[in-house]
Amino acid sequence: MNDGKVGVLFVCLGNICRSPLAEAVFRAEVQAAGLLEHFEIDSAGTSNYHIGESPDPRTIRSAAERGVHVRHRARQLSDEDFDQFDYILAMDHENLARIKHRAPRGRTLGAHIGLLRAFDGDSDDGAEVPDPYFGGPRGFETVHDLVERACRGLLAHVREQNGV
């Protein structure tokens, strides 16, 4: 959808914990595969709570400990995102419902809208990436593990579906 690139957008509530982490992890996976020029990768939030803010310091710290650099400014999901991205992936059911509610009515969307963990072969159907915001450091580690597995599965899926 985006200049011949595969567009992938990760979405959570505030765009400061889970979705910027997923964006950074997926970008690292794509870069390690030597495919960065074939992708447009971003993240957004369904709310406007943190627009313009940097990711949560705990997200940045836990990612950095694994060699992943999270660089992002929070933004809210926009109408243009539905045209720009091929995959719009929510972290949980609440945000998935918000994305679907926000989707432009009356036209066919080209984007696959779903849950990120649908690409994690080890997860149950409907599995979510839990919000670590109100938890301790271990919550951020767990989220990173879940996101990493799902992003690997997502990359494999995209490569298979798009010949990348």
CB burial of residue 76 (10 Å; 0-12, 13-18, 19+):
middle
Residues forming the active site: 12, 18, 131
CA–CA dist 91, 95 (Å, integer): 7
Which residues partner with 115 through β-bridges?
Answer: 90
Say how far apart CA 124 and CA 114 lie, in whole Å: 14
